[in-house]
Structure 1
Amino acid sequence: MSLKYKASNPDGIYFITLTVVEWADVFTRRDYCELLCDSLGYCQQKKDLTLYAWCIMTNHVHLICSAPKLPDVMRDLKKYTSRFLVEAIKTNPKESRKNWLLWLFKSAAEKSSSHGEHQFWQLGGHYVELNMNGLLAQRLEYLHQNPVKAGFVEEPEQWYYSSARDYAGEKGRLEVVLLE
């Protein structure tokens, strides 16, 4: 992974995208979104993760965040959520795509020596330091407009798994520090 996609400034605010392997639509089920939200909340409480904005889409997650050891926090988040999301898929009696998803995650893991039986997230992550106000505003707008452009909602704040509610003056699912 090139340096431009790594968090090299410990005091920086970063736009990060985490993507499910093969862009599989996993976050179509509320249970899986809640598991990810709970994990993000844990990182906020125990690992000094500050969320400025976030959005869970069906197959990827956008975050605008900072943390003293951001690469370590993201590594731990991905490792934990990977294990628990795969287990949630395995044990969900309503999961009609169970065999296909598990096959997909297993196939991805077989291509990588750094994974166990299943790989949920794509390797690495896309880190962009938001060190200019214009870039920060552009990424914030992009993140909140993602569900609108995908055709899921008419207005950003209608998407439950996003900080757009907080920016619209409503209470969102996770605690965020609003950017001005």
Structure 2
Amino acid sequence: MDIKEIYRKKCKRYNIHGHAHELTFSCYKHQPLLKNPTYCDYLSQAIMLAKSKHNFDLWAYVFMPEHVHLIIYPKVRGYSVSSILQTIKQSVSRKAIRHIKQQSVSLKKFATGQKGRPYRFWQAGGGYDRNIKSDNSVVNVIRYIHNNPVRRKLVSHPFQWHYSSALDWSGEGTGPVPIDFRVIQ
């Protein structure tokens, strides 16, 4: 057993009604799996499924090649960010692994070496979850995630990155996942 398995980082969640959440989670071993548009489509579908199942607004998102940023606002009391992420991640993992098997492509880069879970699409652990309480913080976080592809020199302007809500926020068009424009109450 790897020492990293024993001391895996745990993510503390504060499910507080009225707070938005900045969520970040990564592909298995930080591989650039989301360079594949099929997997991004699975992720878009999974977010829409989770929105309807868990009743939250999606304020912003960016799918980077090896990780994802979401800004969500749960609309009900008693929500669970862990359940929201589970719905998203499980859906994508199952579809991606099934797709790979159907294409007869090697699953080697997804292999965990574990009996109970032989393959993974997402990195183990909770990722990053930060509660956001103020409108000013929301705006700053949205700018930050939208500029992630620019900082990485993948594009010159945030709205050029296809798997992002930057185009929605610019008012010039829409990205692949519909977002909800709403102010923190």
Residue 11 of structure 1 deviates from its aligned partner by 3.0
Partner of 1:149: 151
Q: Give per-residue Cα distances to partners, 1:90-132, cap 9 Å, x unaligned.
A: 3336xxxx43xx223222x62xx8x522122122121000113
After TM superposition, where is structure 1 displaced by more than 3 Å over at least 4 residues in a row? none
Partner of 1:176: 179
Letter in 2 for 1:88: H
8 A contact 1:23–1:59 mirrored in 2: yes
Letter in 2 for 1:155: H
Partner of 1:125: 127
**What are the within-5 Å matches in structure 2 for residues 104-119 of structure 1?**
104-107=109-112, 110=114, 116-119=117-120
Say what the alpha-carbon RMSD is for the aligned residues: 2.0
Cα 1:92/1:58, change in 2 over 3 Å: farther
CA–CA distance in 1 between the matches of 2:94 and 2:143? 31
Partner of 2:108: 103
8 A contact 1:55–1:62 mirrored in 2: yes
8 A contact 1:12–1:66 mirrored in 2: yes
CA–CA distance in 1 between the matches of 2:11 and 2:71? 20
Residue 37 of structure 1 deviates from its aligned partner by 0.5
CA–CA distance in 1 between the matches of 2:101 and 2:27? 16
CA–CA distance in 2 between the matches of 1:88 and 1:7? 35
Q: Say whether 1:11 aligns with 2:32.
A: no
8 A contact 2:93–2:121 mirrored in 1: yes
Partner of 2:5: none
**Structure 1 stretches lacking a partner, 5+ long:** none
Which moved further from structure 2: 49-58 or 38-47?
38-47
2:40 to 33, 37, 54: 33
Cα 1:12/1:105, change in 2 over 3 Å: same
What secondary structure does 2:146 align onto? helix
Partner of 2:64: 57
Partner of 1:72: 83
Partner of 1:163: 165
CA–CA distance in 1 between the matches of 2:70 and 2:141? 10
State the aligned residue count. Answer: 168
Residue 152 of structure 1 deviates from its aligned partner by 1.6
Cα 1:152/1:179, change in 2 over 3 Å: farther
Percent of pairs with identical residues: 24
CA–CA distance in 1 between the matches of 2:28 and 2:149? 20
Residue 2 of structure 1 deviates from its aligned partner by 4.8
TM-score (ref. length: structure 2): 0.81
